[in-house]
Amino acid sequence: MPQALGVLTDRHWETEEVILQLSQQLPEFPAPHLIQVWDEKSRHRLMLMERRHEQTFWVEGYGQSWSSMSSGEKKLRWIEHALAKKPTALYIEYPWAHLDPEKINRLSEILAQAHSNTWLICAWPSSAEIPSWITRVIDLRSTKSQCDPLLAVQQDFPVEDKPISEKHDTALVSLKQVSVSYGDKPVLDRVNWTILPRQIWALKGPNGSGKSTLIELITADNPKGYNQNVTLFGQPKGKGVSVWDIKKKIGYYTPSQLDYFHQQATVEEMIIGGLKDQVGLYELPSTSDRQKAAVWIQWAGLEPQKNKIFLDCSPGIQALIMTVRALVKMPPLLILDEAHAAMDQSTISWWISLLAAVKRKTSMSIVLVSHDLTPAVVDHIITLHPSSTGSTSTVEHL
């Protein structure tokens, strides 16, 4: 008889280990080879397969390539597709990650109906997230004994702050009455947003509200910012400042940066890559580079994982490493897009303490993109509200 099994896990657990542990505890548990898996590693494999083999399945079935979907859309589409085949069992890592409340409710309804025919194994970082249709809960969080590398975290910032050239009241980012459309689909409608030094912002809004588009206007990854009232680091967009000049002043992490990444780089090499604005490392690091990286690795408590292959780390630890990678060059502006989505509660607590140290010790501004998290370090919120003419924005100063 299929079950809806809720599993409480933390960052130490890999999917394969969870499945092995459950198969040892539960005699009726399905054979591992019968379990379809949704986790960060499987999402990454699907990205690579589409790119390498020019797969058209998702375009033909959903009118959109896999790579162009948001993280939340990828999850929903894949789960719907997998359940349509009536699999014996389905494992989903952190089902609600990357989803806004509306899509969480939608996915919950889909899964509630599915477990009468399919074994559902859903991993959550917190019991508060487990829905009522789960029939059994197993807590694995305390059963894996190992040294917690993050206990070594230091609250003091590891390097001296680089003074910014802009005055305190000079905007790092200024968007005035910015509207964006793709074909006949309006995305943003007259959005205004000003980011000053030392401000910590939360960017919020439901899936599809244009959060990624708004961030891309700032990171210079979207040409829609030209011929609009967009000023970045004191320079109007398109007025003689190159994309790379802008990127030098921004530390950025979003999980999609790793979609096509398959280099066997170590944790140390990923941190060093941040000094060179690279994801991974494509040249021999200097002694100075290694010394700089060592300071950050020690501060983050990641020394036990220093020589571990990055892709072998759990998704939550990968997000921690990529956060540190975005910090190492000490940019005026740090943007973290759903960085916490794959983290467990203890890792989120460390991540927030890191942000608090940045706020306390530097003049850096931070933008946190999230559906569901507004840490205490945040002092300003911009929210996007979808409408037929594109998303409008409201700003709240805490």
CATH number, domain containing residue 393: 3.40.50.300
Q: What proportion of the chain, given as a percentage, has pLDDT over 70?
A: 88
- Going by C-alpha positions, the residue among 155, 76, 171, 188 that lies closest to residue 365 is 171
Looking at residue 67, its pLDDT comes to 67
Question: pLDDT tens for residues 72-118?
Answer: 788 888 898 899 989 999 999 889 888 888 889 999 999 999 988 89
Statement to judge: residues 391 and 344 lie in one domain: yes
Taking residue 151's Cβ as centre, other Cβ atoms within 10 Å add up to 8
Whole-angstrom distance, CA of residue 265 vs CA of residue 307: 9
Question: Are 54 and 130 members of one domain?
Answer: yes
CA angle 295, 301, 307 (to 5 degrees): 75
SS3 396: strand
- Residue-number span of the structural domain to which 88 is assigned: 4-146
* pLDDT for res 9: 85
Q: Is the pLDDT of residue 12 over 70?
A: no
Distance CA 292, CA 272 (A): 8
Both structure tokens of 120 = 């559902």
- Reading the block at residue 275, the tokens are 């000094």
Say whether pLDDT at 160 is over 70. Answer: no
DSSP 26-68: -TTPPPGGGEEEESHHHHHHHHHHHHHHT--HHHHHHSS-GGG
Residue with tokens 């548990």: 29
Do 240 and 94 lie in one domain? The reply is no
The reply to whether 241 and 334 lie within a common domain is: yes
| 262 contacts: CB under 8 Å, gap ≥ 6 | 48, 311
What is the count of structural domains for the chain? 2
Number of neighbours of residue 323 by Cβ within 10 angstroms: 23
Give residue 90's pLDDT. 95
What b/e sequence results for 345-378 when a residue is b if at least 16 CB atoms lie within 10 Å of its CB, and e otherwise? Answer: ebbbebbbebbebbbeebbbbbbbbbbebebebb
Residue 256 Cα distances to 162, 198, 243, 339, 397, angstroms? 29, 27, 19, 10, 30
pLDDT on residue 156: 59
The verdict on 228 and 101 lying in the same domain is no
End residue of a domain, out of 117, 146, 175? 146
Question: What is the sign, positive or negative, of the torsion defined by CA atoms of 303, 153, 16, 259?
Answer: negative
Residue 2: which residues within 8 A CB-CB, separation 6 or more?
Answer: 89, 115, 116, 117, 118, 119, 120
pLDDT value of position 259: 73
Task: Choose between 156 and 25: higher pLDDT.
Answer: 25
In the block, residue with structure tokens 């806004």: 100
The mean pLDDT value of the chain amounts to 84
What are the φ and ψ backbone dihedral angles of 396, each rounded to 5 degrees? -130, 130
Three-state DSSP state, 393: strand
Over residues 335-371, the pLDDT tens digits come to 999 888 878 777 888 888 888 888 888 889 999 998 8
pLDDT of 116-152, one tens digit each? 889 999 998 888 889 999 999 999 876 554 444 444 4
Q: 315-327 and 287-300 helices cross at what angle (nearest 10)? A: 130
Q: Is the same domain home to 116 and 224? A: no
**Does one domain contain both 42 and 184?**
no
Return the minimum-mean-pLDDT range out of 159-173, 256-270, 353-367: 159-173
> Distance between the two ends of the chain, CA-based, in angstroms?
51
Same domain, 88 and 170: no
Eight-state DSSP code of residue 384: E
Query: Which of 90, 125, 146 is the endpoint of a domain?
Result: 146
CB 257 within 8 A of CB 335: no
Among the candidates 146, 166, 189, a domain finishes at 146
Read off the DSSP letter of residue 310: G
Check residues 313 and 111 and name the one with the higher pLDDT: 111
Residue 393 has pLDDT above 90, yes or no: yes
Q: Are residues 185 and 256 in the same domain?
A: yes
- The more confidently predicted of residues 97 and 35 is 35
Q: Are residues 8 and 135 in the same domain?
A: yes
Alpha carbon distance 118, 90 (integer Å):
7
Q: Which tokens in the block code for residue 180?
A: 């964006």
DSSP state of 87: -
Confidence category of residue 255, pLDDT binned at 50, 70, 90: confident
Q: Is the domain of 96 the same as that of 31?
A: yes
Q: Is the pLDDT of residue 195 over 60?
A: yes
d(CA 313, CA 145) in angstroms, rounded, equals 17
Q: Is the pLDDT of residue 203 over 50?
A: yes
Distance of CA 342 to the CA centre of its chain: 7
Entry field: residues in the chain: 398
For residues 110 and 165, membership in a common domain is answered with no
Residue 168 has pLDDT above 60, yes or no: no
Q: What is the pLDDT of residues 211-254, one digit of tens each?
A: 989 999 999 888 887 778 999 998 888 777 788 888 899 999 98
pLDDT at 147: 42
